[in-house]
Amino acid sequence: MAWILLVVAGLIEVAWSIGMKYTDGFTRLWPSIFTLIGIAASMALLAQATRTLPIGTAYGVWVGIGAAGAAIVGMLLLGEPTTAARIFFIALLLAAVVGLKVTSGH
């Protein structure tokens, strides 16, 4: 169950990190509210996951999902550059996430 919570927390991190782009420096009310709710929800799920999983593993996986997801969404929906190098490094990030999961012992 902890792994499911952690993956959901990572996906919510992707949503709130992309949402920050729409807050205009937290000057727009509704995007700011949704972003802050996303931050709180993501952190709460991460905290729940760390009750069972090692903090280094959980935090690394959470950050990895968030960073890779935000980069992918940025390329697919926000017009950010899609280069072979970016795709390679996102793949490395995802490989690290899988490696943390495999070596966690949980």
pLDDT of residue 105: 78
pLDDT of residue 34: 97
Give the Cα separation of 82 and 3 in Å (integer). 30
Give the Cα separation of 83 and 66 in Å (integer). 19
Closest CA to 66 of 3, 15, 5: 15
pLDDT of residue 60: 94
Give the Cα separation of 16 and 69 in Å (integer). 11
pLDDT < 50 positions in the chain: none
pLDDT of residue 72: 97
pLDDT of residue 81: 96
pLDDT of residue 104: 82
